C-alpha cells in the first residue's frame, strides 16, 4: 500500500496495538508482524524502521521468544521497548538480569542524560510508565545510556555504532505524557520517515485496489448499521458504484430507528442498491423460550446466515463479499501472512458466508484502526451521526435483554435505551464516552407509583470510557444527568419502576452484560 512503513515485531505485548496507533498518529504506516520474521523477509518488506514490542517473558528463560539476530545487521533503525530493548541488548553482548531491586511498576521519574536523537525537544525530567521485572544491567560497552530513573540506570540506550535504540519504559501509553515525542524523534530523525501516510491517500489507493481486484463483477456488502460496515459500503460505492449490492437484515433486535437510518443513508443519499430484508418474526420465533446467552448468539448467527444466503442468491453475477474487518481483528486472529497466526477472523455478521457461497473476500478496511475508519467515513460523506455512533453488538439487543427475548421486552428496552442516549446527546456526554446503553434485567422489584405499590422491572444503565475496548472504566456521569435519565425512564417507560447504574470496570466485568 505504501513505500514508507515501519514493522512492529510482536513479542506478546499488551500494548502492541497501542504502539501501532501511536506510529500511525505520526502519519507513518505500520504493520504488526511475527516476532520471528526472518531478516530476509524483512529485507523484502523494506521498512524504514523496526520496533521490537514489549512482552511478558524474560529473555534468559528457556523458550522465551527471540527475533532473528540478523535483523541487527540490516542497517535498518531498531527501537526496542521494554522486553524488546532487553532482547536487542542481549543479542549484541549486553547482560539482562532480574531481582527485587530491578523491578519497576507504574510511574517513575525519567532523567535525560543525552538530549540528542531520541530525546530531542524532550523535558530534562518527566514522568514515564514502567512495567518490568528485568532490566539491562551491563551494556558490555556496546550501548551508551541516554536516560535513567532512580532504580534503572539504563532506562534508555543507544548503540555506539549502529542505529539501534532501547527504552525500558513504555512511550506508547498515556501515562508517559511525552512518549509521543520519543516515537516522533525515532520515526522522523532516526528512520527518516516523512509522515506522508494520510487518509486521503489511503482512500485513493484503496479505491484503485478495489477496482483492479473486482473488475466488472458485482460485490455484496453486508450492512449492519454500524460504523465499520457503513464505511466499508461507502468506500465500495465510491470505487465501483452500481456494482455494489448492500444487504441489510432487519432482525428485530436493532436500536430504535436503525432501519430507517440505513435506508436514508444508503438508498436516499448514496443511491445504493439496498436490499432490506424484514426477518423480525423469524428471529423472534427462533429465540422464543431461550435464556442462555451463548445459545442466543448461536441461534442469531445461524438464522442470519440463512436469511443472508437466501437474499444473496437474488443478486446476479455477484463474485465478491465485502466485510468491514478492521486491523485489530486481523492482528488478534493472525489474518496477515506475516502475522502471528494463519486464519482470518470473519466479521460477526458474515461469518462462514464466503466459503458457503463461493465468494472471494473484499476487506478494504483491514489495515485500519477504529478512529481511522471514522475519519475515512467523514471524508467519504457519511453523516456524523452514523460515523460517530457507539459500537453495537452483533447479536443486537438480544444480549442486552437478559433472559428470554420477546417483542414486548425489546420494546421496553428500546424506549429506555433511546431516552438514555438522547439525554447523553443533549448534555454533550455522548461524544465524551465510548459506549453507552441500557440493559433490561430479568428481575422485578417493589416500587410505589402514585398511591399504589408496583412490582415491575429494572433497567441498568451502562456507560464506559476506553481507548481500545480491551479495558474500560465506567463513566463518571454527572448526578443530575443520571437523575434526569432515571426519572424520564420511570415516567415514560411502562413496566419500569427502578433504574440502576453499573459502576464496574473491565476487567473484572465485561462491557456488555451477556
Q: Where are the alpha helices (DSSP H) in 1-156?
A: 16-25, 39-45, 83-91
Which of 4, 104, 172, 363 is the catalytic position? 172
Contact 134, 59 (CB under 8 A): yes
Closest CA to 171 of 81, 261, 295, 305: 81
How large is the C-alpha radius of gyration of the chain?
A: 26
User: Is residue 372 flagged as an active site residue?
Assistant: no
User: Is residue 170 flagged as an active site residue?
Assistant: yes
CA distance linking residue 223 with residue 225, whole number of Å: 6
Query: What residues form DSSP beta bridges with 449?
Result: 452
Which of 4, 30, 35, 82 is the catalytic position? 82
| Grid cell digits, residue 403 | 433472559
CA distance linking residue 452 with residue 361, whole number of Å: 59
Contact 201, 46 (CB under 8 A): no
Q: Mind giving me the DSSP string for 435-492?
A: EEEEEEEEEEEEEEETTEEEEEEEEEEEEEE-SSSSSBEE----HHHHHHHHHHHHHH
Measured CA to CA in angstroms, residue 419 lies from 236, 310, 486, 487, 498 at distances of 34, 36, 9, 10, 15
CA distance linking residue 49 with residue 23, whole number of Å: 11
Q: Name, in order, each residue with C-beta under 8 angstroms of 333's C-beta and a sequence gap of 6 or more.
A: 341, 343, 344, 345
CA distance linking residue 257 with residue 318, whole number of Å: 29
Angle of CA points 50, 55, 61, to nearest 5°: 110
| Look-up of cell digits 456526554 | 429
User: Is residue 82 flagged as an active site residue?
Assistant: yes
Which of 35, 170, 347, 390 is the catalytic position? 170
The helix/strand/coil state of 167 is: strand
Measured CA to CA in angstroms, residue 413 lies from 12, 182, 438, 464 at distances of 40, 48, 7, 19
CA distance linking residue 396 with residue 249, whole number of Å: 12
Closest CA to 320 of 393, 212, 199: 212
Catalytic residues: 82, 170, 172
Amino acid at each position: 500500500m505504501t513505500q514508507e512503513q515501519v514493522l512492529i515485531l510482536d513479542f506478546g505485548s499488551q500494548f502492541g496495538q497501542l504502539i501501532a496507533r501511536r506510529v500511525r498518529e505520526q502519519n507513518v504506516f505500520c504493520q504488526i508482524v511475527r516476532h520471528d520474521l526472518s531478516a530476509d523477509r524483512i529485507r523484502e518488506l523494506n521498512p524504514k524502521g523496526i520496533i521490537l514490542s514489549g512482552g511478558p517473558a524474560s529473555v534468559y528463560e528457556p523458550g522465551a521468544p527471540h527475533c532473528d539476530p540478523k535483523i541487527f545487521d540490516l542497517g535498518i533503525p531498531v527501537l526496542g521497548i521494554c522486553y524488546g530493548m532487553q532482547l536487542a541488548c542481549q543479542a549484541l553482548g549486553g547482560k539482562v538480569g532480574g531481582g527485587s531491586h530491578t523491578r519497576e511498576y507504574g510511574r517513575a521519574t525519567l532523567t535525560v542524560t543525552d538530549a540528542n536523537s531520541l530525546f530531542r525537544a524532550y523535558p530534562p525530567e518527566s514522568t514515564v510508565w514502567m512495567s518490568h521485572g528485568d532490566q539491562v544491567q551491563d551494556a558490555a560497552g556496546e550501548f551508551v545510556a541516554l536516560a535513567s530513573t532512580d532504580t534503572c540506570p539504563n532506562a534508555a540506550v543507544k548503540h555506539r555504532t549502529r542505529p539501534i535504540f532501547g527504552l525500558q519504559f513504555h512511550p506508547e501509553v498515556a501515562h508517559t505524557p511525552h512518549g509521543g515525542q520519543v516515537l516522533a524523534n525515532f520515526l522522523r530523525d532516526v528512520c527518516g520517515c516523512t509522515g506522508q501516510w494520510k487518509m486521503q491517500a489511503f482512500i485513493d489507493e484503496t479505491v484503485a485496489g478495489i477496482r483492479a481486484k473486482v473488475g466488472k463483477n458485482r460485490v455484496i456488502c453486508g450492512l449492519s448499521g454500524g460504523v465499520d460496515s457503513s464505511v466499508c459500503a461507502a468506500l465500495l460505492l465510491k470505487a465501483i458504484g452500481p456494482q455494489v449490492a448492500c444487504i441489510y437484515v432487519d432482525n428485530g433486535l436493532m436500536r430504535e430507528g436503525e432501519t430507517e437510518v440505513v435506508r436514508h443513508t444508503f438508498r436516499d443519499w448514496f443511491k445504493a442498491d439496498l436490499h432490506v430484508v424484514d426477518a423480525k418474526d423469524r428471529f423472534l420465533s427462533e429465540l422464543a423460550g431461550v435464556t442462555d446467552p451463548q445459545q442466543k448468539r448461536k441461534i442469531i448467527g445461524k438464522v442470519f446466515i440463512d436469511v443472508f444466503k437466501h437474499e444473496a442468491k437474488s443478486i446476479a453475477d455477484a463474485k465478491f463479499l465485502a466485510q468491514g474487518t478492521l486491523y485489530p481483528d486481523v492482528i488478534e486472529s493472525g489474518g496477515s501472512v506475516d502475522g502471528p497466526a494463519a486464519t482470518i477472523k470473519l466479521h460477526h455478521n458474515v461469518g462462514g458466508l464466503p466459503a458457503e457461497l463461493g465468494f472471494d473476500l473484499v476487506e478494504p478496511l483491514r489495515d485500519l484502526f477504529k478512529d481511522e475508519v471514522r475519519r475515512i467515513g467523514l471524508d467519504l460523506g457519511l453523516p456524523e451521526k452514523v460515523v460517530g455512533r457507539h459500537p453495537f453488538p452483533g447479536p443486537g439487543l438480544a444480549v442486552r435483554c437478559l433472559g428470554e427475548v420477546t417483542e414486548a421486552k425489546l420494546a421496553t428496552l428500546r424506549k429506555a435505551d433511546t431516552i438514555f442516549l438522547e439525554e447523553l446527546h443533549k448534555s454533550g456526554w455522548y461524544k465524551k464516552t465510548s459506549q453507552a446503553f441500557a440493559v433490561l434485567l430479568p428481575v422485578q422489584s417493589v416500587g410505589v407509583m402514585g398511591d399504589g405499590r408496583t412490582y415491575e422491572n429494572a433497567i441498568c444503565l451502562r456507560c464506559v470510557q476506553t481507548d481500545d475496548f480491551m479495558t474500560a472504566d465506567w463513566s463518571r456521569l454527572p448526578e443530575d444527568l443520571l437523575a434526569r435519565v432515571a426519572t424520564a425512564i420511570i415516567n415514560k417507560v411502562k413496566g419500569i419502576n427502578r433504574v440502576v447504574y453499573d459502576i464496574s470496570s473491565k476487567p473484572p466485568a465485561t462491557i456488555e452484560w451477556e
